[in-house]
Amino acid sequence: MEFDQIQYAGLSDVGVRRSHNQDTFEIQPAPDASNWQTTGHVFLVADGMGGHAVGEKASAKAKREIPHTYIKYAHEGASSALRRAFQETNAGIFAIGQQNPEFKGLGTTATALVIRPDGAWVGHVGDSRCYRLRNGVMEQLSYDHSLAWMLARQQGVDPDELTDIRKNVIVRSLGPDSLVQVDVEGPHPVQPGDVFLLCSDGLSNPLSPEEIGLVIGLFPPKEACEMLVELANLKGGPDNITVVIARVGTDLTGSRTMTAIRPNPLRELGRKIIRAVPWPMWALGSGFLLAAGFFAASFTEIPGRSVLLVLALISIIIGLIGLGMEFTAQADQPEEEEEPHSPRQSIYRKHPCPVDLTQIERIGKVITTLKQHLEQKSWNVSWEAFSSYMDQVQSQRKANHLADALRASYRALVILAQSYNRQRQKEEVFQPKWD
């Protein structure tokens, strides 16, 4: 696929209850096909912690340093570059906390997504999340480093069953310790129509994966981001809300795994041969060829034969010196160990997101309740636009165009949600029956 066939958007909101936004996000798309091949598109969400000034500082550093450091080391491969980016950023945040007592407790979550020709890579520390929506199924590609998930793994149960454990207690983040274990997963194959989402827990706590999956499947990235933020705030907005969405174009051709530029097979073979043979061997080979040329020329009267001999001797001497350096370097180098955290392609949870009448009726009940609430308050609402969308719901439903009907339902709901969220009091929580 081409590097410019991915749509993306991001949005961060302070939420209803918080006074400062400690979340942040970053999107650094590859500017051209060459950078797409070596670096890819980089997406990041970070959720700071430790008090608003401290948390903002930590997440801002992650936003700056992780993409920059990843790009710096991208030539080493996505796995190594992501791990180094997270580890170096962690060291920098930790140093700030050590040098400044007022920044004690400085920390942040960080979840990065890199989409490259070889697939999608995820780097992750904390409880922000990475999802992939594929064929109507929401797949969680990151593991929550939270107390709930840790205890659930130990007990062999689903984390949602541990209702007495606070969801926001995390056991791993960037900054509190000098060293951090980084999850690097990939490459996940990428198909046309895949939608990737990064979010802080300000989105994943109030909204279920199924609710999020329906929205990102029905709407383009920018509208989906705005809609998800409105819905999270409608459900109370207890925390900062951040979401980044990347949608792979559906008009693509090619195999299961993305490919951007088809390399010339002969050129690639030549590059492999050059990389496989050490440069001292090339120098020795050139020297022997030049020496053979000298001896062949010695039977003729060709002038300048001595030049061939001099060049042959120089090449052979350089080759022998190079071989000596190679052998010395190999002797001093310790034996390679298998990387302790080799990349995986894990899918931790799957959530079907069917577009059916049940979903349309569910949203319809929420719309009815919220509409009554707004009418009782006599708050300003764009009733004309709302009625237009509700008419579309009915007509599309009659035509059995369920996706279009659900799309119109969500747009009608968002009109009401926008009105409610902008005129409500912070203490007021709208709690319709969502299920």
Q: What is the pLDDT of residue 262?
A: 39
Gap between the Cα atoms of 95 and 58, Å rounded: 11
Q: What is the pLDDT of residue 188?
A: 96
What are the counts of helices (DSSP H) followed by strands (DSSP E) for the chain? 13, 12
Q: What is the pLDDT of residue 396?
A: 98
Q: What is the pLDDT along the chain (435 residues), one digit of tens a residue?
A: 566 789 999 999 999 999 999 999 999 999 999 999 999 999 999 999 977 678 999 999 999 999 999 999 999 999 999 999 999 999 999 999 999 888 887 999 999 999 999 999 999 999 999 999 999 999 999 999 999 889 988 888 888 888 888 878 899 999 999 999 999 999 999 999 999 999 999 999 999 999 999 999 999 999 999 999 999 999 999 999 999 999 998 654 333 333 333 344 554 455 444 445 566 777 777 878 777 777 776 766 666 667 767 787 888 888 788 777 666 655 444 343 334 455 677 899 999 999 999 999 999 999 999 999 999 999 999 999 999 999 999 999 999 999 999 999 999 999 999 999 999 877 676 666 666
Q: What is the pLDDT of residue 8?
A: 97
Distance of CA 1 to the CA centre of its chain: 18
Segments making up each domain of the chain, as ranges: 6-248, 265-332, 354-423
Identify whether the C-beta of residue 343 lies closer than 8 Å to the C-beta of residue 186: yes
Tell which CATH architecture fits domain 6-248. 4-Layer Sandwich (3.60)
Locate tokens 């939270």: which residue? 146
Q: What is the pLDDT of residue 263?
A: 41
Alpha helix (H) residue ranges in 255-400:
265-276, 279-297, 305-332, 357-377, 383-398
Hey, what are 134's tokens? Answer: 């594929």
Q: What is the pLDDT of residue 143?
A: 95
Q: What is the pLDDT of residue 309?
A: 75
Q: What is the pLDDT of residue 421?
A: 94
Identify whether the C-beta of residue 353 lies closer than 8 Å to the C-beta of residue 138: yes
| 119-130 CB burial, b ≥16 within 10 A, e <16 | bbbbbbbbbbbb
Identify whether the C-beta of residue 291 lies closer than 8 Å to the C-beta of residue 309: yes
Q: What is the pLDDT of residue 304?
A: 66
pTM, 2 dp: 0.79
